[in-house]
Amino acid sequence: MNPNKSTFVASLIITALLMLAYFYMGIERVEKDTIMGQKTGGIRDITEQDQNGVEMESLARFAVEEHNKKENTLLEFSRLVKAKEQVVAGKMYHLTLEAKDANGKIQVYETKVLVQSWMNLKQMQEFKVSDDPLLQDTTVH
């Protein structure tokens, strides 16, 4: 085989392999950015049916309990107002809930709970009084 011809063939093979590697890396990146058909990072509303399920209420109750431990308070979970989920390294649940304080006053709170089921991890990331005045006006005292 001619040395120029073998160099050309080798260059073609290397180019083809590089193109395949680049293509594969692109597919892998898309697969990593998508978990179960959901784009990572995007926040989506949880359907009312799922929101009223045991799992969402359990997460809301968990957030109130964790807040009580962390802040040494006595909030009592009342109801889940709305729920959203965000695909991250696991799922981040954005929950809006009502809770009653020790004086019986009901207030609306927003919380974020991270769930990584493969690591058996459930962690409250944030818990605060909602700054949405429309939600605060709908609470029953």
Residues 28-46: pLDDT tens digits?
444 444 445 555 678 888 8
CATH class of 40-137: alpha beta
Of all residues in the chain, what percent carry a pLDDT higher than 90? 52
Give the mean pLDDT of 87-97.
94
pLDDT at 141: 44
Give the mean pLDDT of 6-32.
68
**What pTM value is reported for the model?**
0.66
The DSSP secondary structure of 13-45, one letter per residue, reads: HHHHHHHHHHHHHHHHHHHHHEETTEETT-EEE
Q: Which candidate, 46, 69, 47, 141, places its Cα nearest to that of 98?
A: 141
Query: 83: exposed, middle or buried (C-beta count within 10 Å: 0-12, 13-18, 19+)?
Result: buried
Domains of the chain, by residue range, sit at 3-35, 40-137
Residues 98-128: pLDDT tens digits?
999 999 999 999 999 999 999 999 999 999 9
Residue 121, token pair as written in the block:
């991890």
